[in-house]
Structure 1
Amino acid sequence: MSKKKYNIKNHNNCSCSNTHVNNKNVIVEYLYLDLKVCDRCMGTDSVLEDVLTTMLPVLEMAGYKVEFNKIEINTIEMANKYHFVSSPTILVNGQDICSTIEENNCSNCSEISNSNVDCRVYSYNGKVFEIPPKEMLAENILKAIFRNQKLTYNTKKYVLPSNLEKFFSGKLKKSNCSCGDDCC
């Protein structure tokens, strides 16, 4: 059996601009800080692509149209625009597929920003994972699809978490340093 490939769009438009989604449209958004250095972001990206590749034929057979967008959150302005609270985050029709946000130290993002940065971990079946298992993503994506077919966004005022503020300011400071990567 051959797997059907889906189109991955890398752009800065999120489903936030849509106020309503046809009940057979599914918008999956992958929000992340880095896909070059961060093992969590790269690992989650790979697992998510595998899960979506497997799920897509079944969802299409059921009449669903799936759109997948990868969105690199590389500035404070983007974090504010997307109400980004932790990396990495997976949204289905505007909703985080995980009900809680847990974090621990991320050595990769700490290295990128030259500061102590925490990134997301995922609890599933009593265990904590830095890269979510396929079963967890498949289960949570399906729950999100069937739980709510309408885009809804948290209406609370967004405040950039201090952890992300530290990441972006450290990254900026490190990139502006004239004495090389090793000094700051």
Structure 2
Amino acid sequence: MTEINLTTGCCALVPSNIGKIIELNTPKKQLIIDFLFLDLSVCTRCQGTDSGLDEAVAEVANILTATGNEVVVNKINVNTAELAEKYKFLSSPTIRINGQDIQMEVKESLCESCGDLCGDTVDCRVWVYQGREYNVPPKGMIIEAILKAVYGGQAPVEARAAQYVLPENLRNFYAAMAKQDKGVEE
């Protein structure tokens, strides 16, 4: 190992450092993953996405750490219309990496478990990966999105400037849940 002498501008061999690995205290780059969902107790799509996200992060964690990246996963239960507006929630479940949805196009289909939860019909997200549709995002899709976010070399896509409007599907879900809550209180 060498040490730079800042006063003379030359390098000098420092015997005490020979053969040692010196950790540089460089700041880690932070990768923020937000998992937004309606329900983890009943919804099979949310549960599967939660498990898949955990597995995907575990698989890439060592690589990310070794390359100076720190992963922060926020699991956010978007259980009110106010939270949906705060997070500009479009469909459940959603995975965002550094604020960017891993699948820009929102496609949905009937979700029986969320329908059972609120007592009404509810559509939840369908994931499209490699030309196929899935009710739960494949682990490979999540890993690919994480690696692209870190190593893709792409500038982040600018957030949509459009005004957020709570999707009708979510509005119906929250109204049905509120109606159930009122029935419980009475």
TM-score normalised to structure 2 length = 0.79
Contact 1:94 1:151 survives alignment (8 Å)? no
- Residue number in structure 1 paired with 2:17: none
Select which of 138, 147, 150 maps to 1:142.
Answer: 147
Identity of aligned residues (%): 41
- Residue number in structure 2 paired with 1:154: 160
Select which of 89, 106, 109 maps to 2:114.
Answer: 109
Moved >6 Å (runs of 4+): none
The Cα shift of 1:99 comes to 2.4
Contact 2:28 2:68 survives alignment (8 Å)? no
- Residue number in structure 2 paired with 1:82: 87
Task: Supply the AA of the counterpart residue of 1:176.
Answer: K
**Structure 1: runs of 5 or more not aligned:** 1-21
Contact 1:41 1:88 survives alignment (8 Å)? yes
Structure-1 separation of matches of 2:138 and 2:98: 21
Contact 2:28 2:70 survives alignment (8 Å)? no
Q: CA RMSD in A?
A: 2.1
Contact 1:33 1:41 survives alignment (8 Å)? yes
**Structure 2: runs of 5 or more not aligned:** 1-26
TM-score normalised to structure 1 length = 0.80
Structure possessing the higher relative contact order (Cα contacts under 8 Å, 6 or more residues apart): 1
Number of positions where the alignment pairs a residue of Structure 1 with one of Structure 2: 159
Contact 2:110 2:122 survives alignment (8 Å)? yes
Task: Supply the AA of the counterpart residue of 1:170.
Answer: A
CA offsets per residue over residues 26-66 of structure 1, 9 Å max, x none?
10010000000000000100010000011111001011111
Structure-2 separation of matches of 1:178 and 1:60: 47
Larger radius of gyration: 2
